[in-house]
């Protein structure tokens, strides 16, 4: 049976489906191997304790939408990365949090009826990351939503 939609409506439906597929694929967190590659590069920078914003080198630039990584180096030397995979209105984002040592249990706040929140003290960008999914104790799909 032939499609009852006009060519224009079929085109619009295809566009809508394409946009929805693209949006869904952007929500996929950075794979662990990709995060590990960024972490290896960051470790080579020997950054001091504190928060740092760095432009990724060309081979790693696709790891985040803006080609940048936010790095938090704790006083204990633990490094955590924030890769913003999709950046939206009001700087809301979907991304990946990846650390070279486990995120401590006191840094993950479970909320009844809502998503857990990762809060790593020392930088505002790491203090309110809502958890979509956990991929172990070092890798999280996260988002920030200012509403």
Across residues 52-65, what is the average pLDDT?
Answer: 97
Across residues 13-18, what is the average pLDDT?
Answer: 41
Burial 46-85 (b: 16+ CB within 10 A, else e): eeeeebbebebeeebeebbbeebbbbbbbeeebbbbbbbb
Of the two residues 73 and 111, the one the predictor is more confident about is 73
24 Cβ contact list (under 8 Å, min separation 6)? none
What tens digit of pLDDT does each residue of 80-114 get?
A: 999 999 999 888 999 999 999 999 999 999 989 99
Confidence of residue 141 (pLDDT cuts 50, 70, 90): very high
Joined together, the tokens standing for residue 57 give 């080198």
Looking at residue 12, its pLDDT comes to: 46
What tens digit of pLDDT does each residue of 30-52 get?
A: 899 999 999 999 999 999 999 99
51 Cβ contact list (under 8 Å, min separation 6)? 70, 71, 72, 73, 122, 123, 125, 126
pLDDT over 70 at 137, yes or no: yes
d(CA 71, CA 50): 8
pLDDT over 60 at 147, yes or no: yes
Looking at residue 28, its pLDDT comes to: 56
d(CA 124, CA 144): 11
Across residues 25-29, what is the average pLDDT?
Answer: 51
């Amino acid at each position: 049976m032939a499609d009852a939609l006009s060519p224009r409506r079929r085109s619009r439906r295809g566009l809508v489906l394409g946009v929805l597929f693209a949006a869904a694929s952007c929500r996929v967190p950075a794979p662990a191997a990709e995060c590990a590659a960024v972490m290896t590069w960051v470790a080579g920078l020997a950054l001091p304790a504190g928060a740092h914003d760095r432009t990724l080198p060309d081979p790693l630039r696709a790891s985040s939408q803006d080609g940048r990584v936010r790095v938090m180096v704790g006083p204990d030397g633990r490094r955590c990365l924030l890769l913003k995979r999709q950046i939206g209105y009001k700087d809301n984002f979907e991304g990946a949090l990846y650390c070279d040592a486990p995120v401590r249990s006191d840094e993950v706040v479970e909320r009844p009826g809502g998503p857990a929140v990762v809060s790593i003290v020392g930088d505002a960008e790491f203090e309110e990351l809502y958890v979509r999914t956990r991929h172990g104790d070092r890798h999280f799909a996260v988002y920030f939503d200012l509403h």
